Amino acid sequence: MGGLEKKKYERGAATNYITRNRARKKLQLSLPDFRRLCILKGIYPHEPKHKKKVNKGSTAPRTFYLLKDIKFLLHEPIVNKFREYKVFVRKLRKAYGKSEWGTVERLKDNKPTYKLDHIVKERYPTFVDALRDLDDALSMCFLFSTFPRTGKCHVQTVQLCRRLAVEFQNFVIASRSLRKVFLSIKGIYYQAEVLGQPITWVTPYAFAHDHPTDVDYRVMATFTEFYTTLLGFVNFRLYQSLNLLYPPKIDTQTEDELKPAEGKEYAMDSESYLERLSALSSSLARAVAPAHEDEVEMDEFPVEGETAELMDAKKKEQEALEKHKKLFEGLRFFLNREVPREPLAFVIRCFGGQVSWDKSLCIGATYDASDPSITHHIIDRPRLDKQVVGRYYLQPQWVFDSVNAKLCLPVADYFPGLLLPPHLSPFVTEKEGDYVPPEKLKLLALQRGENPEEESEEEEEEEEEEEEEGDNDKEEEEEEDESEKEEEMKLQKMEEQKMEEQKTQSTQSKKVLPVKVTAGKVRLEDKQRLEQEQQQEEKRLAIMMMKKREKYLYKKIMFGKKRKIREANKLAEKRKAHDAALKEQKKRNKKARQA
Q: How far apart are CA 87 and CA 97, in angstroms?
A: 15
> What CA dihedral angle connects 272, 113, 167 and 292, to 10 degrees?
100
Single out the residue of 75, 67, 78, 77 nearest to residue 23, CA to CA: 67
> 44-53, 434-443, 483-492, 516-525 — which one is most confidently predicted on average?
44-53
pLDDT-based confidence at 309, cuts 50/70/90? confident
Single-letter amino acid code for the residue at 554:
Y
Which of the four pLDDT bands, split at 50, 70 and 90, describes residue 150?
confident
Q: Looking at the DSSP assignment, which residues form a beta bridge with residue 332?
A: 354
Supply the mean pLDDT for the chain.
83
User: What mean pLDDT do residues 495-518 have?
Assistant: 66
**How far is 285 from 248, CA to CA, in rounded Å?**
7
Pairing of strands 64-66, 17-19: antiparallel
pLDDT value of position 510: 47
- For residue 403, pLDDT over 90 is answered with yes
Q: Is pLDDT at 467 greater than 70 in this prediction?
A: no
Please report which confidence band the pLDDT of residue 386 belongs to, taking 50, 70 and 90 as the band edges.
confident
- Give the C-alpha distances (Å, rounded to integers) separating 508 from 50, 380, 499, 505: 92, 90, 15, 5
pLDDT above 90 for 396: yes
Residue 474's Cα: distance from chain center in Å? 51
**Which residue, 301, 356, 307, 347, is CA-closest to 328?**
347
Q: Is the dihedral of CA 403, 407, 408, 414 positive or negative?
A: negative
Q: In residues, how long is the chain?
A: 595
Q: What is the pLDDT of residue 161?
A: 93
Residue scoring higher pLDDT (342 or 522): 342
Torsion of CA 381, 387, 392, 393, to 10 degrees: 0
pLDDT band of residue 569 (cuts 50, 70, 90) is confident
40-54, 205-219, 282-296, 341-355, range with the lowest pLDDT: 282-296
- Listed residue (283, 323, 594) closest to 464, CA to CA: 594
Closest CA to 218 of 298, 309, 154, 173: 154
Q: Categorize the per-residue pLDDT at 517 as very low, low, confident or very high, splitting at 50, 70 and 90.
A: confident
Residues 6+ apart with CB under 8 A from 284: 170, 174, 244, 245, 248, 249, 250, 251
pLDDT, average across residues 403-429: 89
Per the model's pLDDT, the better-predicted residue between 32 and 516 turns out to be 32
Q: CB-side exposure of 171: number of CA atoms within 13 Å?
A: 27
Q: Is the separation of the CB atoms in 423 and 397 below 8 Å?
A: yes
Average pLDDT over residues 106-135: 92
The pLDDT, as a whole number, for residue 465 is 63
| Rounded-to-integer distance, Cα 61 and Cα 363, Å | 56
User: Rounded mean pLDDT of 170-194?
Assistant: 94
pLDDT band at 238 (very low <50, low <70, confident <90, very high): very high
User: Most confidently modeled of 77-86, 310-319, 424-433?
Assistant: 77-86
87 CB-contact burial (10 Å; exposed 0-12 / middle 13-18 / buried 19+):
exposed
Whole-number pLDDT of residue 151: 74
pTM tops 0.85, yes or no: no
- Mean pLDDT along residues 254-276: 57
Residue 488 has pLDDT above 80, yes or no: no
- Residue 32 preceded by cis peptide, ω within 30: no
Residues 369-389, mean pLDDT to the nearest whole number: 87
In this predicted structure, the answer to whether residue 335 has a pLDDT above a threshold of 70 is: yes
Taking alpha carbons only, the member of 195, 164, 238, 188 closest to residue 347 is 188
Amino acid found at 509:
S
Q: Which of 76-85, 234-243, 511-520, 554-563 has the lowest mean pLDDT?
A: 511-520
Segment of 144-153, 234-243, 247-256, 357-366 carrying the highest mean pLDDT: 234-243
Over range 451-471, report the average pLDDT. 62
**Amino acid letter, residue 282:** S
User: Does the pLDDT value for residue 389 go beyond 90?
Assistant: no
Of 326-330, 404-408, 428-432, 483-487, least confident by mean pLDDT is: 483-487
Per 3-state DSSP, the chain is made up of helix, strand and coil in percentages (nearest 5) of 55, 5, 35
Specify the higher pLDDT residue, 290 or 325.
325
| Long-range contacts from 554-562, C-beta under 8 angstroms, 24+ separation | 561/433
Band of pLDDT at residue 263, cut at 50, 70 and 90: very low
Please determine, for residue 479, whether its predicted confidence score (pLDDT) is greater than 70: no
Secondary structure (DSSP) of 318-352: HHHHHHHHTTTTT-EEEE-TTS-HHHHHHHHHHTT
The phi, psi pair for 18, rounded to 5°, reads -140, 140
Q: Which residues 6+ apart lie within 8 Å of 134 measured at CB? A: 199, 201, 230, 231, 234
